[in-house]
Structure 1
Amino acid sequence: MRRRLTFIACSFAVALVLAAGVALAADAPQPGQWEIASKTERSGVVKTRPLRTTCMTPEKARDFGARLQRDLITATGTCKSIEPRKTDTGMSWSIQCAPEMPLRATASYAFDGPQHYVATVKSETSFAGKTMASTLTVEGRRIGECPK
């Protein structure tokens, strides 16, 4: 039961970080107001979160990738980012957790320009002989300037 709760807590923490509009890319996104859509699929059930907006300041845009990796490590506690790989349009990496939490996860992000990205986090854990898998998909698009 503890492992299942830990898996759910880690998945939720990752979702919160991503839904807040923090993403990772090889190039920084354009600062401004961003609309974030996200959905989670677990055991064939899809849950869509309400659209939200966030202001991406120039500082946040410059520190985009490093910020997400720091936030994920903090949110997941005993987990760490490993094997980061830059691509032409984004980045991907694996998440490795302590042995007492057998969570395996991969994350990837791709921008098709400085105003739009799609991100995916896939995680899997085993509990009581059953494998539980979850996929989080986040899409962000710039919708204008930040409110003053």
Structure 2
Amino acid sequence: MNKFVVVLFCALSGPAALAAAENLIEPGQWKITSKNVVNGATMPPQVKARCLSPEQAGDVAKTFGPATNTVNSTCERTEYEATGRTLKWHLQCKGQMGMDVSGNFNFDSASHYTATITTKAWMAGMLTNDVKTELEAERVSECQP
């Protein structure tokens, strides 16, 4: 279960690289609403705040892609596509506990994005976790010191 939590956390907040000359999103304080469906059960929405630095906003693939430290002997990035205002990726982990994590981000403006992250985990060939997370984020202000 720890591996599941670590990979899901990295997928939601960790690093990868969208080579774009323009910033797709602005730095600043963001309000992120997440809606989760876990093993068929809808969870209450959660709202979190996140401050994005100019460096994080300037490299959305690193900020929103799978963390490079999750790509190792048991995990590999099997899909990665960064085109226009969209970032898609897929991380597959094999071993005693297998896992597939897919992310699809749409940066529809410099102050708004949506995303869907799907995580499926197996142990001994049986599906143990099936999580779909939908994110909607909007820039609300400058970062507060």
Residue equivalent to 1:74: 69
Residue equivalent to 1:137: 134
Residues 103-143 of structure 1 show CA distances to partners (whole Å, capped at 9, x for unaligned) of: 12211100111111111111223335532421111211001
Residue equivalent to 1:34: 30
Hey, what's the Cα distance between the residues in 2 that align with 1:39 and 1:14? 17
Residue equivalent to 2:99: 103
TM-score (norm 1): 0.74
Superposed displacement of residue 100, structure 1: 2.9
Structure with more of its chain in helix, by fraction: 1
TM-score (norm 2): 0.76
- Would you say the 8 A contact 1:13–1:75 is kept in 2? no
Residues 66-123 of structure 1 show CA distances to partners (whole Å, capped at 9, x for unaligned) of: 23336x3436874333321123321101102133332122111001111111111112
Hey, what's the Cα distance between the residues in 2 that align with 1:59 and 1:125? 32
Structure with more of its chain in strand, by fraction: 2
Superposed displacement of residue 28, structure 1: 2.8
Hey, what's the Cα distance between the residues in 2 that align with 1:74 and 1:142? 28
Superposed displacement of residue 63, structure 1: 2.3
Distance 1:75 1:32, change over 3 A: same
Q: What is the alpha-carbon root mean square deviation over aligned residues?
A: 3.0
Structure 2: gaps (5+ residues): none
Pairs within 5 Å for 1:6-21: 6=2, 8-10=4-6, 12-14=8-10, 17=13
- Would you say the 8 A contact 2:24–2:107 is kept in 1? no
Aligned residues: 140
